[in-house]
Every structure is written in C-alpha cells, then in structure tokens.
Amino acid sequence: MEHFDLPPLGRVAGNVSLPGSKSISNRLLLLAALAEGSTEIRDLLDSDDTRVMLAALAALGVGLEKTAAHAWRVRGVGGPFPVKQGDLFLGNAGTAFRPLTAALALSGGHYKLSGVPRMHERPIGDLVDGLRQIGCDVRYAANEGFPPLAILPAAVSLAAQLSSPLRVRGDVSSQFLTALLMALPLTGRPAVVEMTTELISKPYIEITLNLMARFGVTVQREDWRRFTIPGGQRYSSPGTVHVEGDASGASYFLAAGAIGGGPVRVEGVGRDSIQGDVKFADALATMGARIEMGDNFIEACAPASGKLRTFDLDLNHIPDAAMTLAVAALFADGPCKLRNIASWRVKETDRIAAMATELRKLGATVEEGPDWLGVSPPLTFQANAAIDTYDDHRMAMCFSLAALGGVPVRINDPRCVTKTFPDYFERFGSIAAPVIAIDGPSASGKGTVAQRVATTLGYHFLDSGALYRLTALAAMRAGVALDDESAVAAVATALPATFEGERILLAGDDVTEAIRAEDVGVGASKVAVLPVVRWALLERQRAYRRFPGLVADGRDMGSVVFPGAPVKVFLTASAEARAQRRHKQLIEKGMAANMRTLLQDLQERDARDAARAVAPLRQEDDAALVDTTPMSIDEAVAAVLDIVRGRLPFIN
C-alpha cells in the first residue's frame, strides 16, 4: 500500500486494547536471554523491532519458542552469549541495536552489527566511548561515531578496568545508559556509571532499572548522575513476565478521545504502569481533556467546553508521546510550544524537521529551534494534505489524528507502523471510522437500503439483526431455551459465526437461508429482549467499525452500539405499504400470502416493538426520517445518500 486515505473524522469513542510495549518487550527479551533459567514472556509485542531482536538472539544461541499468539519461552544462556561469531542486521531498531552492542562487547566474540541506512545516521559514539573505557574493543566499520560496528574480544581484562567509574554522556540518547546498565552485570563485578551531562528521557531508565530488578539485579541510583551495580549479581529468570500495553501507542487514542469527544479508553496501561509515557495523559489534561485512570486503563474525553487549550511544556520526559501532542496542538485554541525535545533530531528521522514540514501542510504555522517546536493551529484545516512519514512509525500514527479536523488526509507509506504497531489503522478505525446507523420498523426495506448504501460508498456493512437471528438459531440447535437469559448469552458470546461476502456461516455450516426462516425470526425477537444477550453482542458489533466507514443496520445502532454515529437515519413506511412489499416478495418466491393477515401481523409487531422495555423501536432525536411509502428502493437509497452527503462533507 502506497498510501492510506483517511476520511474526514468527527466523533470518536470506544475501547482499544493495546499491543505490548516496544521498550518493555525488547528489554525483557534481552534480560531473559542473558538470565539463568527459562522465562515465559506473555503479551510480547509482535512488530518489526521485536522480530529483529528475536532473530538476533536466535543467531546468538538463545533458545526461543513461541508458546502462544503473543507469548514466547526464552531459554536463557546464563551469562555472555555462547555464540562467539555473528553478523547481525538490526533494521532501525534502536532498542535492539544499543543494548546488543553492549552485551556483545562483553561476550568475547567477533560480531558485526548493522542496520538500515537511517540506523547508520543515528549516533552511537557515547555508548562506544563508555564501552572502550572498560577495555572493550568496539570499532566503527564505516563512519566515526555511527553504526555499522565491528566488535572484537577485548585484549585486556575487563574486570580490572571496572575499578573506576565509567563516565558517559546522557544528553543524546538514554538508550546508551540503558545498554550499559543491562550489560554490565555480565562481568559479575561491581560497576559504577557516572553521567557527564544532564540525562534525558529519564523515565526510560526507570523502566530499565525496574526490569533488571525483576531479573534479580538491583542498581543503586544517586539522583540521575551516578548508578552503582553491586558485584556478585547475576540475572536469573523470574519465571513468567507480562508485557504492559504500549503507553506511547496509547497516546494516539487518548488524543483522539480528547479531540473527538470520547470517551476513548485504552486497556493495558494505567496508574501502575512502569512506562513514563503514561504521563502523556497529564499533558492532555493540561490542554483541558478529562482523564480517568484505573489500574489497567486510561480514558480520555474532550474538555467540557469542547475546546482544547494551548500549552507550553517541557516534554523531555515523554519524547515519543510528545509527537502526538504536536499534532494535538492543531486543535488547541492558540499557539502551543513543545520544549526540550532535542532527542527528536536523532530518532527514526529528524522528527523536529519532519513534524514542522508536515504540520505546515495542514495549514499550521510552525516555528522550530534546535530543541523546540512552536505550533499555531490553522484557522481551517487544509483538506487532502498528503503527509510524508519518513519511515517513522510515529509520524504515520500521530498524523492520522489530523483527519479529526474534518478533512480527508492522506498518509504516505503507512506500512512504517509495523515497526511497533502493525494493526494501528484497524484499531484507530474501530474508534474513529464514520458510522451510518440505519433503523426502522420491520419490512421498511432498511436492510436492502442499508446494504445498497454501503456498497455505493464502499463501506463495511453490519446486519445486526442477522447476529440476533444467528444467536437464536445456534441456541435452538443446541437445545437452549430461548428465555434462558444466561444460557443464550453464553451462546451469543461464543457464536461461531462468519460472514463471507453474501454467505453467512455458523460453525462452518452455510445458514444464509436458514436464519431467514419465520421461526428463527420469532426466536430472534425473543432473544433480542434479553439485556445480557444484547450486552454479549455489543463488542462484536462495534468491531465492525473500520475504515473507510460502516453502515450499521438495526435497532440500537444509533443509541447503544454507535451513539456517536455522525449519520443516523430512521427509515419507515406506512404499515400498508410495508404489507404490500412483503406480499409482493412472498408471491415472487412462489409462497402463499394474504394481505390482511400480513398487515395485521405487521401492526402487531410494530406495537410490540415500540412497547418493549429493551431497545424499543423509536426514532432517535438526532436521526433523519425517511418515509419511503411513496418511494422505490432506488429512490430510498438516493434519499439516504443525500442525508449522508449533507452530514459527511467530502464524500463522493
């Protein structure tokens, strides 16, 4: 895919479960590899950067076994790497390159480390200087101060060199300190690391120290200037470890909630997180967003006033999530300033320059300095901006928020998100893609119209009635009484249903026709009044929300399932017209039909539907009424499309 076209976006709401954190995943992989014993890592991120680390560890003699979709068993080598020769390609993964450099420098072998061209432009001199101080033989294979590197066995005794502190800079990347801290216990000797400059991105060092402690190695920290690793410590496996959800990845969804109404809830990080980027929520709160935090979730809503405020913040502690804030600045009520972000210059791309260039495409006025960025929001968003992403996953993800300005936005080379968040756009779509909710009484033609509207717009289609019919059919087949609420809800939760184009399968059996039978319809209306059954189907229905958009047909689409749907249509027709349509359908199918009984049935069903306590049939306040009594199907489709175009500008 060359580019991803985001439609103009409005209301955003929903829940997102986060993939594992990149920073934690790659640290845990290395620690588990160096440790004694075997470690089960659960919820490991599956992305380019973790794959690079896994491949490198395998090449270095570490036993790796995938035990579940996101779980790996790592058989630790209990010290330096046993494979003493290797040529490792590490892509653009800083979290693999830097720590492996240090661990390999202390492994006494011959190794070559290289990456993509951008990796060879990212400085590594401070780390190499630190390693050389203790006698490691690390050489630059091309340019002084940059990868690729050649590592050779040390000519001197490393232990002897450790008596005096290692002195390193901490103002370019905190990953150099992380790399040294994680590798030094391989010597088994006491070691001290002293910073010669201010240390940036301190929360990432907290992650490092926290995870090392879980593997049995404690580090004494004096301020952020001196780190002491007492001797005699070895890494040993804690058994099973879980990877938290990615807090940097959470920032996009939280910002979307703050900009687009919300509530948006991210699951997998919360109050107890060890990741510094959860502090992004505080920055959003500074802008006026309403934030709620639980042990394992964070939720964001727009300010009560609806408008986000300007900010002027030092963001050194959240360098990655700060990019999201730069794009959120487009939605502030005045100029915003991001300070102390010099590390952006040496990340996947020069993020300060890239951010300035791309924000301007949306109409913002942007000023940049060596370590700061000033963003003045546009009066109106520039439509159809084509955003370049510089092979930087975070550029692609944070600029997706620009579509919340109500304009179409094109993201070039969107696949760069695979570095840390392969299904980012699917998840963003699940809270942001436009939804057209269509409801109406039985036989109003809404099913046919909804499907035709979806086809015309190229949108996904949800026939929610089919889910209730499938639940009824599955319950009937399993011999479950249709008024046994918890048993039917269990059937609904486990419903083995798949939609393959026009075909509907239940546990592999084609039931496209079967679910339309009269007794199944009656069964569906019975199970549809059970609140626990409706609740059991809720997330399944919400999962249909995907880019470029969704047409959702059914009773509570605009009220419960997608209350923020920007387009709601109530399609109706007189009972006589509906009875006539049904009559014609039945005759065409060669079935017997009687107008009088059909009319009576419909009227009775309308009364029952409107009177029922759970999800009664009614027109939502914000739903547009389309009375199709005098219309053909084509005319009804055209009428709905008119409403859609009125509410969703830019739709073709």
Q: Which residues are annotated as catalytic?
A: 320
Nearer to ligand DC, 266 or 482 (CB): 482
Nearer to ligand DC, 518 or 588 (CB): 518
CA–CA separation, 326 vs 313, rounded Å?
11
CA–CA separation, 321 vs 250, rounded Å?
9
Interacting residues toward ligand DC by CB under 6 A: 464-466, 468-469, 521, 524-525, 528, 554-556, 615
Pairing of strands 63-68, 85-89: unpaired
The DSSP 8-state label assigned to residue 263 in this structure reads: E
The pair of three-digit structure tokens given for residue 530, joined into one six-digit string? 């059970």
Min. distance of Cβ 597 from ligand DC in angstroms?
A: 18
CA–CA separation, 111 vs 391, rounded Å?
27
CA–CA separation, 187 vs 396, rounded Å?
41
> Rounded to 5 degrees, what are φ and ψ at 569?
-130, 135
> Rounded to 5 degrees, what are φ and ψ at 132?
-65, -30
Q: Rg of the chain over CA atoms, in angstroms?
A: 29
Min. distance of Cβ 585 from ligand DC in angstroms?
A: 13
Nearer to ligand DC, 30 or 567 (CB): 567
Nearer to ligand DC, 266 or 552 (CB): 552
Nearer to ligand DC, 352 or 524 (CB): 524
> Rounded to 5 degrees, what are φ and ψ at 81?
-65, 135
Instruction: Centre a 10 Å sphere on the Cβ of residue 503 and count the other Cβ atoms it contains.
Output: 10
Min. distance of Cβ 596 from ligand DC in angstroms?
A: 22
Q: Cα 99–105–109 angle (5° rounding)?
A: 125
Tell me which amino acid residue 632 is: S
Min. distance of Cβ 10 from ligand DC in angstroms?
A: 22
Nearer to ligand DC, 95 or 525 (CB): 525
Nearer to ligand DC, 178 or 525 (CB): 525
Nearer to ligand DC, 61 or 616 (CB): 616
Min. distance of Cβ 614 from ligand DC in angstroms?
A: 8
CA–CA separation, 466 vs 186, rounded Å?
60
Instruction: Give the CA dihedral 48, 49, 55, 60, nearest 10 degrees.
Output: 170
Nearer to ligand DC, 132 or 540 (CB): 540
The pair of three-digit structure tokens given for residue 190, joined into one six-digit string? 């006491």
Nearer to ligand DC, 158 or 449 (CB): 449
Min. distance of Cβ 568 from ligand DC in angstroms?
A: 13
Min. distance of Cβ 177 from ligand DC in angstroms?
A: 55
> Rounded to 5 degrees, what are φ and ψ at 540?
-60, -40
Instruction: Centre a 10 Å sphere on the Cβ of residue 312 and count the other Cβ atoms it contains.
Output: 12
Min. distance of Cβ 615 from ligand DC in angstroms?
A: 5
For residues 488 and 480, the answer to whether their CB atoms sit within 8 Å is: yes
Instruction: Centre a 10 Å sphere on the Cβ of residue 491 and count the other Cβ atoms it contains.
Output: 25
What's the 3-state SS for 420-436?
CCCCHHHHHHHHHCCEE
Nearer to ligand DC, 27 or 555 (CB): 555
Min. distance of Cβ 445 from ligand DC in angstroms?
A: 11
The DSSP 8-state label assigned to residue 480 in this structure reads: -
Nearer to ligand DC, 244 or 556 (CB): 556
The crossing angle, in degrees rounded to 10, of helices 321-328 and 247-260 is 20
Instruction: Centre a 10 Å sphere on the Cβ of residue 500 and count the other Cβ atoms it contains.
Output: 9
Min. distance of Cβ 475 from ligand DC in angstroms?
A: 13
CA–CA separation, 521 vs 513, rounded Å?
12
Min. distance of Cβ 554 from ligand DC in angstroms?
A: 3
CA–CA separation, 71 vs 25, rounded Å?
11
Pairing of strands 373-376, 385-387: unpaired
Residue with nearest beta carbon to ligand DC: 465
Q: Which candidate, 77, 83, 235, 232, places its Cα nearest to that of 159? A: 232
C-alpha neighbours within 13 Å on the C-beta side of residue 375: 35
Distances (CA, A) of 113 to 12, 31, 54, 84: 43, 19, 15, 13
Contacts of 232 (CB under 8 A, 6+ apart): 188, 190
Min. distance of Cβ 527 from ligand DC in angstroms?
A: 8
CA–CA separation, 189 vs 233, rounded Å?
8
C-alpha neighbours within 13 Å on the C-beta side of residue 583: 16
CA–CA separation, 356 vs 337, rounded Å?
12
